[in-house]
Amino acid sequence: MPAAPLAALFRHPAFRLGVRHMAPLAAGIGAWGLMTGVAMVKAGMSLPELLLMAVFVFAGSSQLAAVPLIAAAAPTWVVLATAFCVNLRFIVFSAHLRPYVMHQRFMRRMLSGYLMADLTYVLFVQRYPAPGDTPERVAEHDAYWFGICLAGWTSWVATSLAGIALANSIPLAWGLGFAGILALLGILCSLVATRLQAIAAGVSGAAAVAASALPLKLDILVAIAAAVAVALAMDRSGAARRAASLRNGRPGAADGAP
């Protein structure tokens, strides 16, 4: 079914609903964006680079991970690898959202992907756990998506630009990014629904702390690698136990597997 025009989505009640749902989260997004703007200035980036990154790079966690590496003149591959690993979660998000956007034209899908963030993904899938099956429902999904996404993007860009403008007046020691960290922790808690996910999150945090002394923010790579390795090992072990239980005629024995 064809996608509704963007102008029609902006007039849809679901668009305004999405804006209202995102509004309470703007403070956390704003603190994160403000600190990112300050960090980019402190890293010595030029004004054109600052403005281009603030407006077009909508990826807070990877920006904060990459900016210190850029300032430290880290090898390009380290910067790219760090940003790639930090943003790996969006591959999973995109795969999940694919049925929701395949009715859109290619450029509209690119726009939907560009505007996606952790909070918008969580809000959207909580409200719409399944894709729409009628033109009206699909239009509602699209309108709500752009409502939450544009509200989040506007808050991010506005506060990033404010951070750039006020960088010389705001010391990094204020730790404004802490509010953003709390927002990400809230997202993490909402996504952890199984024992396997909880263990992976715990292993990732422990590995990051253990490797915190590594240079060039390599503790991030270590944490991601440790969590993925443990999760894969536990998933394979659970699958093996379930298969063994089925072979032995005791399907209930595998209920406690992750």
Asked if residue 158 and residue 77 are part of one domain, the reply reads yes
Q: Where residue 35 falls among pLDDT bands split at 50, 70, 90? A: confident
Are the C-beta atoms of 93 and 116 separated by less than 8 Å? Answer: yes
Query: pLDDT tens across 111-122, in order?
Result: 999 999 988 999
Query: pLDDT tens across 50-70, in order?
Result: 999 888 888 878 887 888 888
Query: What's the CA gap between 78 and 218, in Å, rounded?
Result: 8
Whole domain around residue 226: which residue ranges?
A: 193-258
What pLDDT is attached to residue 128? 95
| DSSP designation for 176 | T
**Res 181 pLDDT > 80:** no
Asked if residue 197 and residue 132 are part of one domain, the reply reads no
Note whether residue 1 is domain-resident. no
Which residue, of 144, 163, 191, is where some domain finishes? Answer: 191
Asked if residue 68 and residue 26 are part of one domain, the reply reads yes
Note whether residue 11 is domain-resident. yes
Query: pLDDT tens across 228-239, in order?
Result: 999 889 888 888
Query: What's the CA gap between 139 and 157, in Å, rounded?
Result: 26
Distances (CA, A) of 170 to 15, 23, 39, 164: 35, 25, 10, 10
Which residue, of 164, 191, 218, is where some domain finishes? Answer: 191
Asked if residue 112 and residue 38 are part of one domain, the reply reads yes
Asked if residue 217 and residue 94 are part of one domain, the reply reads no
Asked if residue 241 and residue 148 are part of one domain, the reply reads no
Note whether residue 43 is domain-resident. yes
Q: What residues have CB less than 8 Å from 124, skipping those under 6 apart? A: 97, 100, 141, 144, 145, 148
Are the C-beta atoms of 199 and 230 separated by less than 8 Å? Answer: yes
